[in-house]
Structure 1
Amino acid sequence: MWDNLPTEISTDILHRLGVKTLIKCTILSKSFLSLIASPDFISTHIAQHTNSQLLLRYFTLDNKEIYHFEPDDDTFSGFRSQGLLIPFHNNCFTVAGCVNGVLCLVDDFGGHEGTLIILWNPSIRKFVHVPRPIMVFKTHGPYQSACGFGFDSISDDYKVVRVVDLDTVHWKNPQTTRPPTQVEVFSLKTGCWRVIGDGPSYLIKRHDSEYRGYIPCFSNGSVYWVGYHHKYVILKFHMSTETFEILQVPEILTENESTFTRDMDLYVEECKGNLTLIQRNYNDAIKTCNVWLMKEDGVAKSWTKMFDFDIAKLHPCAMPRAFGFRKNGEVIIVKGGHNIYSGGRNENVVTSTDVVTHEDTALKEISVDCFSLYLSTYVESMVLFKEGKGIGEQTTQLDLF
């Protein structure tokens, strides 16, 4: 009966199915497998399935790396479901991006052990072990690096961009006193790295206080980081053209700024398709958190403050951090503090706060290591189904099907 259906109708039916059902369909026939694994089918399936989830990554007190996925709707349960234990052996990954159901996990600290980068789609149990980058300690000496991950819609390709600051002491060119920032790009289609040239002369802050690290934001075809060179800026890397653009932060953030201090955290996020900048001040005199939204892409004058609160009044014994946004525009805030009566644990409360009324509700109290929190939106997809390898025996740890 299925074989008698016109191709357009049968394909449309498959597009409406979830990834778990699609995987089962791939074992029914070679024609199903060929269709579902095709790039056109996967792209169309992503476009038709826009129901996002919230992804929260954290480490437990016994150093287990846990990923929680929760529906981002009225049924949101506050990460009460059983989390997924990461199926890769590693002490600590940084999440360099989450795009179309794929997480880019990075362990890249410029040390002797090299660089480990994995593209992982937990919804289909597939991953790609990215080859070793061109610039590593063995060949280039000590370095600092920042990775970003995104999708190039022009070439229909997923890319990892790596910005590398080489150590000045080991720089071997006598004509220059400081090595240029180097940029290399990995293409999933080719499976190779390419050095694309010098990067902008801005330092991408490796540790955004003790909470977020250099985690970038992918939005509308570009990767964004906060950079610094005498003043704060936003570095924008266009995935299609593989070029950088410098965006100015709100002018008020650059006033009286003289040093790259730990008194102000800045990091980028996306809210309803717009670039946002989260600012957290926590010196002795000022403890505030502000969220800025860029209404026009690339236009510095379009920055608008959409949310602010006084940290000291809201939670005097802790340092709340804004981590991202829900689908409805509410900002996700994690309030936490070190409790000496809890055996040294960090007690954290995840809240969803309305940006207009500032009303918030405790969604879930969790005891996690606040040095490793990561929050993002997540959409299930079939990306990596063809390119990726199965996780194998460790799939028993994942409660997916």
Structure 2
Amino acid sequence: MRQLPSCLLLLPVLPEELILEILFRVPVRFLKRFMCVCKSWKTLISSSQFEKEHFRTSFSVTSMTHQRLVTLTNDDWKSITTCSMRSLFEDLLVPPKTVSLRVEPRWVYIIGSCNGLLCLSDDFGLFKLRNPFTGSASKRSPTIDVMWRTISQYGFGYDQVNDKYKVLITSNGETKVHTFGTNYWTTIQTFPSALPPECWDKVGQFVSGALNWLVLERDRIISFDLEKETYGEVLLPHNMDGDLPCNHVLHVLNNCLCLCYFTDIHCVVWLMKKYGIQESWTKMMLIPHYKIPVRNNNASFRVRPLCISENGVVLLETNENQLVMYDTKNGEVYYPSKIFGTYRVDIHIYHESYAPELAPKVRKGCRSNGCKNPPVGKFGYCDFHRSKSQARQRKRAAKRRKLEDTAHPAAIE
């Protein structure tokens, strides 16, 4: 038996707990390669428990290693297009490399992003989960008799207690919830407000297990607990009345609720550092009006903070589909290079996740190219090509035996 080199014999053997901690911190794009190391690593990385721990560890990291911008583009074909957040902040002059995943033309909206999954919707009330990294997708939700233009509120989030993803929609005064993995919609209590739909934010922001909508006319936030499926209320900051705010926007920044609005001279950004506690609202920044360009004196101009770097640079998106970077330390404004195409929907922050397959892959046809006959057996061939495959195997086995007989002739007595 060949002996290992002495240098390899001196290498220490890492404890299993330490190997796990290292794998939890490995960027998502390398995990598929690590599955090829050995069977035990493949089984470990493929498990749902590993996926949850890896996401929890990566989510707790303050850097932008695992964060990406994501949108639906429609330049040449409909696709989910993402780019690295880190590369965007590192070099403003060079457009970051984008990665596209082609999707069916019917999916025209991104409802939200949660735990590395995107919730997509079409114009006719169908919803679907998609992981842009692995390309896996869930089954479609049951058909619901609504059109997108009739939906007044919607939201997507994760019920941590029951380990379920849920989507909520309100249409024509009726509110329904669908839990992915089931085949039905549940009708629940409608929104606790008599205000018309135009007085609400349309999209619910997911934070701490709840969806949140800003009620524009009453200056409050209505929340919906995804576990209990009940409504609540979150109070706005105490001392914002003197600002005479307008053009409010509720968003999520650093996994916290973020309130952004305009006054006469500033764009004001508040951050709720502890969800549900009014005293935790902190005025994060004041951006002078002239720092943010407004086209054609748009009276409904709004700004959404998307992300903030460790050195205090904030990435903002305007409702005119423009990206702006603002340095909170020196007040400088930067305009990153154009990333996505002209035809796109709203940008979302997507956190890379190596989630397991959302739905088992079912082979629709025979493995043989061009054959559409249903597969039979575990190898994926139809009856016709299975017999041909077996014939090829018998022929190869006979040829192999003949070569062995030629190389090792029987002893002649």
C-alpha spacing 1:89/1:254, structure 2 compared with 1 (3 Å): farther
Identity between Structure 1 and Structure 2 (%)? 21
Partner residue of 2:254 out of 272, 278, 282:
272
Match of 2:222 in 1: 235
SS in 1 for 2:176: strand
- Deviation (angstroms), 1:91: 5.8
Task: Pick 1 or 2: higher relative contact order, CA cutoff 8 A, min separation 6.
Answer: 1
User: Does 2:134 match 1:151?
Assistant: no
User: Does 2:314 match 1:331?
Assistant: yes
Q: More strand by proportion, 1 or 2?
A: 1
How many aligned positions are there?
343
1:162 aligned partner, one-letter code = L
Match of 1:121 in 2: 131
| Whole-Å separation in 2 of the counterparts to 1:93 and 1:268 | 23
User: Does 2:132 match 1:88?
Assistant: no
Query: Highest CA radius of gyration, 1 or 2?
Result: 2
Deviations 1:46-96 (A, max 9, x none): 122243323142646667555232143796335823423342122663222
| Whole-Å separation in 2 of the counterparts to 1:330 and 1:68 | 20
| Whole-Å separation in 1 of the counterparts to 2:189 and 2:304 | 33
| Whole-Å separation in 2 of the counterparts to 1:287 and 1:390 | 58
- Deviation (angstroms), 1:5: 7.7
| Whole-Å separation in 1 of the counterparts to 2:31 and 2:340 | 36
Q: TM-score, normalised by structure 1?
A: 0.68
Greater mean alpha carbon deviation, residues 38-47 or residues 92-101: 92-101
| Whole-Å separation in 2 of the counterparts to 1:271 and 1:20 | 24
SS in 1 for 2:32: helix
1:53 aligned partner, one-letter code = Q
Partner residue of 2:331 out of 353, 358, 380:
358
Q: How does 1:364-379 map to 2 (within 5 A)?
A: 364-365=337-338, 368-369=341-342, 372-376=345-349, 378-379=350-351
- Deviation (angstroms), 1:276: 0.8
- Deviation (angstroms), 1:198: 0.6
| Whole-Å separation in 1 of the counterparts to 2:267 and 2:351 | 28
SS in 1 for 2:49: helix
Deviations 1:180-219 (A, max 9, x none): x3231314xx43444152132348997899xxx8343222
SS in 2 for 1:129: coil
Partner residue of 2:355 out of 383, 386, 399:
383
Please provide the CA RMSD for this pair: 4.3
| Whole-Å separation in 1 of the counterparts to 2:361 and 2:194 | 35
SS in 2 for 1:45: helix
| Whole-Å separation in 1 of the counterparts to 2:339 and 2:293 | 17
Unaligned runs of 5+ in 2: 5-12, 365-413
Deviations 1:311-363 (A, max 9, x none): 356435465733412243532124697xxxxxxxx8x4x33213354322222
Unaligned runs of 5+ in 1: 109-113, 167-178, 258-262, 338-345, 393-401
Deviations 1:242-273 (A, max 9, x none): 2221223346778999xxxxx95333222334
1:247 aligned partner, one-letter code = V
Contact 2:88 2:336 in 1 (8 A): no
Contact 1:208 1:266 in 2 (8 A): no
Contact 1:315 1:335 in 2 (8 A): no
